Each structure stands twice: as structure tokens, then as C-alpha cells.
């Protein structure tokens, strides 16, 4: 690794594969012989058509999905989806189930309520400071969808298996673990993800939407939702290959390269999952074996993407973060709402980075 680069444990925007960064660098001034940067080419050009179409094709192959799923690229991040989802899928009298597992789930629930939509919070882990994923949930059979957050970046928890919802489609915010593992896509009516944690730079949101959900939205748009602005309708994007207006061309391009890296260098999502499990197990095993560091999430709910931990005192945590930065280990400060420490070990984080972090953690603990 270059001496000017650090091991990046930021929670988002986060690390990108070094090979992807090098490919961007090599083609930045002259993209595919166009004589222009990828940031300059027209989104209506054949050159960009190849980019977006290949990104969609790679998404389909990696997730093993067919034409019943629409792959869309939106702006506004996952946060805009918190509002678009109930706007598009909940008509008058319709209801949806939400599971609250932390900050981002809470925000999604708040947006639905702000729109005065009828929702039920059917389970929550707030009673233990969101340190676990709820189990044995009773879902409403009449719900239009079940909303979950698959990985919780702030609290360091993750759904390792997805719930049986009795056929109700799951809508999942996968901003921080999309493409980290294979998925049983038939369970999902929709998944969405801000790219900046696991598949690209900030500024683009991937939405993968089943045809049944799109049809539900279109039916409502013919009636009670007919005044919904075009930019808030999913069919606006599905009918225009995500180019109703100018999309985030650079963000989509980088996402294409990350998916290419997963597919061609890593070898697909099964191998990516094995790699992520190995990294997470190594770090958690070290923390569990230490009498100085303490993991904050319950064992069976621990995230393979965001490892949250505490030291004996807040003063030691501040010192730890400061010394880590000096040792080229960046982004280890916990979210401002909870404090502590957090190592975000997304797809692009290497085993070398994990080994360097553990070596530093050993050294820091032995000196205290």
C-alpha cells in the first residue's frame, strides 16, 4: 500500500477497492477513447449507455435476478427512499409493517408517519439500546410490505437471516451490506442502498424493485396518488432507464467498476461472503479474547460490516482514536450519537487492514 494512503475504516463514504481507484485514475482524462473525462460525457451518449447497461447486467448476474426486477439509479440517498416508499406503495387505508433496529429504521418510521401513512411497528430492539435483531416477529398478513434495515451501521447489528413474513414482500434498506452476500431475492419486493458504504461513491442510490411493487405503485398513481410529482415516482425511472433527468453518471460508473471487481476479481457473492466472514470473525475473536476491548452488539446479531466496540473509559477511546490515526488507521471513531469506536469493514476492506488494526489494538492495550 502507498505510504500516502491509510487503512480506511470509515463508515461512509468508505473504502473503495484499490484496483477500482486505479482504473478510474487511468481513464479519468480520456474515457474509452472519447477524448473526455467520464465526468464530462453526455448521459444520452452511447458511451454512457454502455456504462449503465453493464451496471444493470452485472447487478442481475450477481443477485441472480430476472426481468421481473427493475434496477434503478436515483439521487437523494436512502433517506429519500424513506419517504418515496410509503408515497408509492401505501394508499388510503393500506398499512405496512416496520421493524425498528436503530437510527435508520427510526428515520424511515418517522418519514412514514410524517406522511400520515398507516404503519405498524411490529418489533423493536430499542429496549436494549438496539444491540440485537428481534426474533419471532408476528407480521400482519394484510400489510403491503415489511420494512427492515438489513445492517445497522451505528449499533453494529445485522440480519443474518431474513424473517418469514408469510408472503408479504420485504422492503429493505441495504445501504451498508448490499452485495456483501448472496440473497434469496424472492423474499424481497424491493431493496435499496446508498452507494457510499459498499458499492461506490456518495451521490447515487441503487433501487432494485420487483414488478409487483411497481404495478402497485402504478395503480395508486392512476387514482389517489395521481398528484405525486414525477421525480418521486418509481415508474419515472423504470420507464426511462434511470435517465428521466441527468443521473449521477460518475457514481454509476464507479458502481459498475465495483460490481466488476466483485464479479471478476472476487468471484461472486458467495466468495465475497466467505471473505467478509473471515475478516469479521478475526476481529471479533480478538475483541472477545481481550479484557480491554468490549463489543457492543449481542453475539448472534453482530454485523460483519460495522464492528462497534468500547474501551474501559471515554478518555482512553479518544486517545485510541488519535493514536490510530497517527498509525495510518483512519475512521475508527464511533458515530457521534453513541460514541465509542467502530471499524467499518465493508467489501473493499482487506485482510491486511484487519491484521494492521489488530496489531495496533494489541499494542495500545499492552501499553495501558
Alpha carbon distance 194, 115 (integer Å): 22
E strand spans, the chain: 7-8, 69-74, 95-100, 118-124, 146-149, 151-152, 157-158, 170-173, 188-194, 205-210, 294-295, 306-310, 329-330, 341-344
Alpha carbon of 144 to those of 139, 216, 302, 326: distances in Å? Answer: 11, 9, 29, 50
Catalytically active residues are: 104, 173, 197
Residue whose entry in the numeric block shows the C-alpha cell 427492515? 148
Q: What DSSP string runs through 111-161?
A: HHHHTT-EEEEEEE-GGGTT-S---S----TT-S-EEEESEETTTTEE-SS
**Maximum pairwise Cα distance, the chain:** 67
Amino acid at each position: 500500500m502507498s505510504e500516502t494512503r491509510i487503512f480506511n475504516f470509515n463508515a461512509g463514504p468508505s473504502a473503495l477497492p484499490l484496483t477500482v481507484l486505479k482504473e478510474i485514475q487511468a481513464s479519468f482524462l480520456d474515457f474509452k477513447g472519447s477524448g473526455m473525462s467520464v465526468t464530462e460525457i453526455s448521459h444520452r451518449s452511447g458511451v454512457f449507455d454502455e456504462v449503465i447497461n453493464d451496471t444493470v447486467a452485472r447487478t442481475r448476474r450477481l443477485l441472480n435476478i430476472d426481468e421481473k426486477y427493475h434496477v434503478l439509479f436515483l439521487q437523494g440517498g436512502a433517506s429519500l427512499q424513506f419517504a418515496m416508499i410509503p408515497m408509492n406503495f401505501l394508499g388510503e387505508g393500506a398499512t405496512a409493517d416496520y421493524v425498528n433496529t436503530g437510527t435508520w429504521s427510526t428515520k424511515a418510521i418517522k418519514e412514514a408517519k410524517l406522511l400520515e401513512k398507516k404503519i405498524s411497528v411490529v418489533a423493536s430492539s430499542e429496549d436494549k439500546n438496539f444491540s440485537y435483531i428481534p426474533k419471532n416477529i408476528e407480521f400482519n398478513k394484510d400489510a403491503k410490505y415489511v420494512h427492515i434495515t438489513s445492517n445497522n451501521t451505528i449499533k453494529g447489528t445485522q440480519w443474518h437471516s431474513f424473517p418469514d413474513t408469510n408472503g408479504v414482500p420485504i422492503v429493505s434498506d441495504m445501504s451498508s451490506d448490499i452485495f456483501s452476500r448472496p440473497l434469496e431475492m424472492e423474499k424481497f419486493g424491493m431493496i435499496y442502498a446508498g452507494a457510499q458504504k459498499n458499492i461506490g461513491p456518495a451521490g447515487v442510490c441503487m433501487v432494485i424493485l420487483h414488478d409487483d411493487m411497481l404495478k402497485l405503485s402504478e395503480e395508486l398513481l392512476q387514482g389517489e396518488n395521481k398528484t405525486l410529482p414525477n421525480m418521486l415516482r418509481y415508474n419515472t425511472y423504470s420507464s426511462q432507464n434511470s435517465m428521466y433527468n441527468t443521473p449521477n453518471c460518475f457514481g454509476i460508473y464507479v458502481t459498475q467498476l465495483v460490481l466488476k471487481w466483485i464479479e471478476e476479481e472476487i468471484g461472486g457473492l458467495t466468495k465475497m461472503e466467505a471473505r467478509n466472514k473471515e475478516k469479521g470473525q478475526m476481529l471479533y475473536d480478538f475483541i472477545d479474547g481481550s479484557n480491554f476491548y468490549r463489543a457492543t452488539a449481542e453475539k448472534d446479531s453482530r454485523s460483519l460490516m460495522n464492528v462497534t466496540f468500547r474501551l474501559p473509559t471515554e478518555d482512553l477511546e479518544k486517545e485510541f482514536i488519535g493514536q490510530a490515526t497517527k498509525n495510518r488507521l483512519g475512521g475508527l471513531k464511533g458515530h457521534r450519537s453513541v460514541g465509542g469506536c467502530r471499524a467499518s469493514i465493508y467489501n473493499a476492506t482487506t485482510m491486511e487492514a484487519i491484521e494492521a488494526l489488530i496489531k495496533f489494538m494489541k499494542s495500545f492495550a499492552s501499553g495501558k
